[in-house]
Structure 1
Amino acid sequence: MKQETIRVLDVDVYCEYEWHDKPVMILIHGFLASTYSFSAITPELSKHYSILALDLPGFGQSEKSKTFEYSFKQYRQLIVAVMDYFDIERAHIVGHSMGGQVALSVAKASPERVNTLMLLCSSGYLKRAKSWVRYSSYMPFFYQFVYRYFKRKDVRNVMEKVLYRHELITDEMMDHYKKPLLDINFHKSLTRLLRHREGDLSREELQHISVPALLIWGREDEIVPLKIGERLAEDLPNAQLEVFDEAGHLVADERPNDVIRMINQFIENQQAGATSFE
């Protein structure tokens, strides 16, 4: 995978990509994550698709900007801007956790740019941060409070909460998820995210998204429970829900072969005009 940092919407965005003469698939990570969260599935997916994975501003190796508006509206505009930068007319979009909500926002605002949606344990129905949290974010040095809070977090305990199979936790994995927590600039951007982030799309908004959507969930997900996936499957007019046992929030790490199989099958069925799995 080629690595490049590009400049769009006045912010530096870290990208990993591999182009073939094949349909484009864009991978959008979740909260406190990065392109690394797709590392278990990108090698195989790249055999079937041109892959573009990016770190959202504020996360991973992208800029921790002090001026970027960390809202779903701005993130969806950024995804389209990145597509324009690479001359991508349409793409399949995979979103994990918060990245699923970003993907849904892109599909709502620019459905002509999206072929299919693959939502892995997507966030859904979250309200905007409480007003006192937003007001507090304007206080001097609030970001230092956020920094101290996350610095106290034990990364292994967090990983055990997002993974059902604890034997999959490695030092490399913990290092990748811990590194941004030690960057003071990350906590400044996280403070801005708490301030700017709107609530998730409403039921009424979801009902107007006609892009074919595959929802993949781990039955043991403690971060975004399966009931959220079931609600999304009901509210999205063209959605299918697939649930894997003995898997948690990082379903792509715990069931990579199954996730890849379901994504490939879903896209093949859509291309063939099918409406359900065989």
Structure 2
Amino acid sequence: MNTNFKKEKINFSNYWDWNGFKICWSVTGEDNKIPIIFLHGFGANRNHWRNNLEYFAERNCASYSLDLIGFGDSDQPGIRQIGRLNNEIWGNQVKDFITQIVRPKNSSKVILIGNSLGSLVALTCAVSFEDQIASVIASPLPDQIYGKKKKIINKKLFKQFKDKFIYIFFIFFPLEIILFLITKLNIIRLGLNSAYYKKENINSELIDLVTKPVLRRTSARSLRAMCIGMSTREEKFQASYLLRKLSASKKVPFLLIWGDKDNFIPLFIGKKIAKFHRWVKLKIVPNSGHCIHDEDPSVFNRISYKWIRDLKTF
């Protein structure tokens, strides 16, 4: 067990210029052998991994966590600044983070660990950067799942119409008012109550972690770019297509960790993925919800580290 890191630097903020945008990231155990990048879910940020980073750093892992663009303390650009925000953009952000931040310190293949949206970003990055990725741990993986490729019959015009409608809808939808009401009407706590099975884990620290980025004046414009971007993605950036792409080579070992009480993304989705893609390993955690890494960190850490320890890459 390696404890060669400064505990006072856990969640210490670093900033990286990515294509003109300020990106916030942290690292624990930077000089350790096995690089891991922790990717948060929608509405969260790098500090959502506060109960996990030190555990892995003590086990010779360089534990990186970063705020995806639009979240946390990273810049929150809108349509005019960046166009549409989706997992293609976030996947590119992670690829460049590996190249520009991780590689100067560590040449080993990188493990990606994601929660929800972060899992989709990890999958997206792994497909286009598979030679650099040792494994993906997804807990859980969102998106619709199809067993076979969808038949596309004359859908181009329909998609163009739908995408235009979505764009116009969200341009005029009063997200500024919605976010204001969310912060004032205690809706964030209600959302966390749905996400967490163990309600005692919902404390002021967690609520503050989720609320602070929403209060920034740029949050609505960035959310608008996300709503449009995620709603109008091409099929090649959807989970079913990405999983099929990764299945073709099976170069990247893939672990799903799923709470059996997940109200946001039900367990049957995870079982569906494991059924369609036999190379994917599914681990079910009883009596846990959507954020196992924070709700049951000791269980999540133990399962994840055993998977990492057993990888042939290291």
Cα displacement (A) at 1:10: 2.0
- Percent identity between the aligned chains? 20
Deviates more, 1:70-79 or 1:230-239: 230-239
Give the helix-richer structure, 1 or 2.
2
Residue 86 in structure 1 maps to residue 101 in structure 2: yes
Structure 2 unaligned spans of 5+: 1-9, 147-158
**Residue pair 1:208, 1:237 contacting (<8 A) in 2 also:** no
Residue 118 in structure 1 maps to residue 137 in structure 2: yes
Report the equivalent of 1:248.
289
5 Å matches for 1:59-70? 59-66=71-78, 67-68=81-82, 69-70=84-85
- Cα distance in 1 between the residues matched to 2:276 and 2:35: 27
Deviates more, 1:47-56 or 1:260-269: 260-269
- The one-letter code of the counterpart of 1:256 is P
- The one-letter code of the counterpart of 1:157 is L
| Larger Cα-atom Rg | 2
Residue 147 in structure 1 maps to residue 179 in structure 2: yes
- Cα distance in 1 between the residues matched to 2:285 and 2:278: 22
Residue 205 in structure 1 maps to residue 205 in structure 2: no
Residue 189 in structure 1 maps to residue 230 in structure 2: no
Residue 12 in structure 1 maps to residue 22 in structure 2: yes
* Local SS of the residue matching 2:209: helix
Cα displacement (A) at 1:251: 0.7
Structure 1 unaligned spans of 5+: 274-278
Residue 163 in structure 1 maps to residue 196 in structure 2: yes
**Residue pair 2:48, 2:209 contacting (<8 A) in 1 also:** no
How many aligned positions are there? Answer: 271
Deviates more, 1:211-220 or 1:86-95: 86-95
Deviates more, 1:193-202 or 1:226-235: 193-202
5 Å matches for 1:90-109? 90-109=109-128
**Alpha-carbon distance change, 3 to 246 in structure 1, aligned in 2, over 3 angstroms:** same
**TM score, norm. by length of structure 1:** 0.90
Report the equivalent of 1:261.
302
* Local SS of the residue matching 1:208: helix
* Local SS of the residue matching 1:241: strand
- Cα distance in 1 between the residues matched to 2:145 and 2:229: 14
What are the Cα deviations for residues 9-47 of structure 1, in whole angstroms up to 9, with x where unaligned? Answer: 221110001202311000010100101221111111111
Cα displacement (A) at 1:201: 2.1
Cα displacement (A) at 1:229: 1.3
**Residue pair 2:32, 2:57 contacting (<8 A) in 1 also:** no
Residue 74 in structure 1 maps to residue 89 in structure 2: yes
Deviates more, 1:148-157 or 1:259-268: 148-157
